[in-house]
Amino acid sequence: MMQQPVIYSVNGPVVKIRNTNVFSMMEMVYVGNRRLIGEVIGLTDTETTIQVYESTSGLQTGEPVEPTGAPMSVTLGPGILTNIFDGIERPLRALEEASGAFIGDGLAVPILDTEKEYDVSVKVRVGTMMQGGEAYASCPETAAILHLCLVPPNLSGKVVYAAQDGKYRINDEIIRLEDAAGRVHSLTLCQKWPIRRARPAAKRLPPSRPMITGQRVLDTLFPIARGGTAAIPGGFGTGKTMTQHQIAKWCDADIIVYIGCGERGNEMTQVLEEFTALKDPRTGKSLMERTVLIANTSNMPVAAREASIYTGITLAEYYRDMGYHIAIMADSTSRWAEALREISGRLEEMPAEEGYPAYLPSRLSEFYERTGAYETLSGREGSVTVIGAVSPQGSDFSEPVTQNTRRFVRCFWGLDKSLAYARHYPAINWTSSYSEYLDDLAAYYEKQVDPKFVKYRNEISTLLKEEQTLMDIVRLIGSDVLPEDQKLVIETARIIRVGFLQQNAYHAEDTYVPLQKQFLMMKLILHVYHRAQELMQEGVALADITAIGIFELIIKVKYDIPNRQPERFRTLTQQIDAVMDGLRTQKKEVL
């Protein structure tokens, strides 16, 4: 009889066992008398290395380790939305009920509510042939989301039993499926899936539709496609978390997965309070009804931080297979990388740059490559979009996590400390940021908004770049030496910065701006710029144009014209033209 494996070494979250071959790589195990959850991360002919996802305080050598025979997995089913999980999908509310305010170790609580009943509509009958990814039942998970119960991707066969429509709990049998080998599989409302294995899809689709956020600097200058990837790097206090909050509140994704990876507990509390209080513009109910939170704060076990982003993206892929569009907010991948570094150090691995493990780039790519827009196995279309915050120390974008992240994302929204200190939000630097989705999304903007959208966007971007060059000259020798046309560029760029790029999250009309209004704002700014150029060519001084207050009027347009009254832009343009025509008339009379 084989002797039960026991611990011989404990080094923080890393536990080692000697002389055993009963484990397999990436297998989930129970460690010690408290049955802490762990995962096998290393195997040799003499020892097994385990990463423990709970606190190992009090763990002793000689305690047993129990294999499960299955990889580290999450439970997928109705009840995920509105819930709050830790990094390994343990429900924090249930843990609090079981142990109080301070979460104990080794607590065994159901991942999803096993007693709640759902109104289930069974979509198949006996004799139906089913393939992986097809829906066999549905139930309303929240007021906003209809949950589809899907055949696991690796299973197919004929339905030999199907329940009637009615109320069922998540572990009740709904159908039985007989595969080609004659084996019968019982399917309930839930299933399990390994967190480190991507769920399969039929086909990856090219990016063709933007994820609309209502934030002008993002939607217009640096858009992200549905199924795209973006990084928000910035130092302390530059607004990474608040930018992600704003995107999560207003983007047009069907479901939000918010991963608080190593962040402060008060920030996650703020997320909970805001998302619970905020009304969803689609349903008028709480935004939490289409949100799942994964909270693995800085005071929680560091190893679970490493697993949290895989847990989050697995939940997202599950809803993607139902045909939904999911946005993941990962805050922050730097804390996740720090967990990798700590565990790597305890494993005595050879460090790479700044102590991070040599496999940091490959781990980042594994995560970001699981995003995308897909045709699912059942023919639906769904997408997973990831927006990851990066927290470089001292706002140093040359550090390893930021540099390696840039290799795997196509949107880079670099936050600027000087903009944040000047109260310019979102504090996204328009000179260091970029988006590689512009060409992919051009057809959408031209068809759905206006054929001139991309042209105006490029002209706005060019003016901002020209201003950057001119301001270098101004800082050296002053603005008086500049010709009038260059002074107009600087003045127009100021309008763009203050009146267009800067956005007030606390103003009802400015916190979210539809694409049509964004286009009309660009059109108005450029119209005034070109009219001013014409007047200056006819001899009108720039000082005379600025004196009539048109530029300040344009800056206030974002507040003065409601989102639902775009027709007022035409009236305002006519009024501005009349005033500028008056300047021309005055100039002719003087001459």
- Could you please state the CATH topology (level 3) that the domain comprising 453-590 is classified under: 1.10.1140
Q: Is the pLDDT of residue 227 over 50?
A: yes
List, in order, residues 6 or more apart from 208 with CB less than 8 Å away: 225, 373, 440, 441, 443, 444
Residue 1 is predicted with a pLDDT of 47
> Could you tell me what percent of the chain has a pLDDT over 90?
75
Tell me the average pLDDT across 451-458. Answer: 96
Q: Is the pLDDT of residue 399 over 60?
A: yes
Place of tokens 């080094």: 11
Rounded Cα distance between 308 and 305, Å, is 5
Residue 167 is predicted with a pLDDT of 96
Nearest alpha-carbon partner for 474 in 495, 459, 493: 493
Place of tokens 């580290």: 72
Q: Are 91 and 109 in contact (CB under 8 A)?
A: yes
Q: Apex CA 78: angle with CA 108 and CA 249, to 5°?
A: 105
- The segment(s) of the chain belonging to CATH 1.10.1140.10 are 453-590
User: What is the CA 505 to chain-centroid distance, rounded?
Assistant: 19
Nearest alpha-carbon partner for 12 in 354, 347, 351, 260: 347
Average pLDDT along the chain? 92
The structure's pTM equals 0.93
Q: How many CB atoms lie within 10 A of CB 448?
A: 14
- The segment(s) of the chain belonging to CATH 3.40.50.300 are 203-437
Residue 122 is predicted with a pLDDT of 96
**Per-residue confidence band for 292, with pLDDT thresholds at 50, 70 and 90:** very high
DSSP H helices, 255-385, are 265-277, 302-320, 333-346, 360-368
Residue 480 is predicted with a pLDDT of 79
Q: Are 374 and 201 in contact (CB under 8 A)?
A: yes
Residue 589 is predicted with a pLDDT of 62
Lowest mean pLDDT segment, chosen from 92-96, 142-146, 216-220: 92-96
Residue 287 is predicted with a pLDDT of 82
- The segment(s) of the chain belonging to CATH 2.40.30.20 are 7-71
Instruction: Report the half-sphere exposure of 198 (CA within 13 A, side-chain side).
Output: 14
CATH number attached to the domain at 203-437:
3.40.50.300
User: What is the CA 109 to chain-centroid distance, rounded?
Assistant: 28
**Per-residue confidence band for 105, with pLDDT thresholds at 50, 70 and 90:** confident
Instruction: Report pLDDT digits (tens) over 158-188.
Output: 999 999 999 999 999 999 999 999 999 999 9
Residue 427 is predicted with a pLDDT of 95
Residue 2 is predicted with a pLDDT of 58
Instruction: Report pLDDT digits (tens) over 363-377.
Output: 999 999 999 999 999
Q: Are 545 and 591 in contact (CB under 8 A)?
A: no
Instruction: Report the half-sphere exposure of 36 (CA within 13 A, side-chain side).
Output: 29
- The segment(s) of the chain belonging to CATH 2.40.50.100 are 115-189
Beta bridge partner(s), residue 119:
167
Nearest alpha-carbon partner for 346 in 13, 78, 17: 13
Q: Is the pLDDT of residue 102 over 80?
A: no
- Could you please state the CATH topology (level 3) that the domain comprising 7-71 is classified under: Elongation Factor Tu (Ef-tu); domain 3 (2.40.30)
Residue 129 is predicted with a pLDDT of 94
For domain 115-189, the question of CATH label 3.30.1780.10 is answered with: no
Burial label for 422, CB within 10 Å (0-12, 13-18, 19+), is exposed
Residue 478 is predicted with a pLDDT of 79
User: What is the CA 404 to chain-centroid distance, rounded?
Assistant: 18
Q: What is the dihedral angle through the alpha carbons of 253, 259, 263, 269, rounded to the nearest 10 degrees?
A: 70
Rounded Cα distance between 224 and 232, Å, is 12
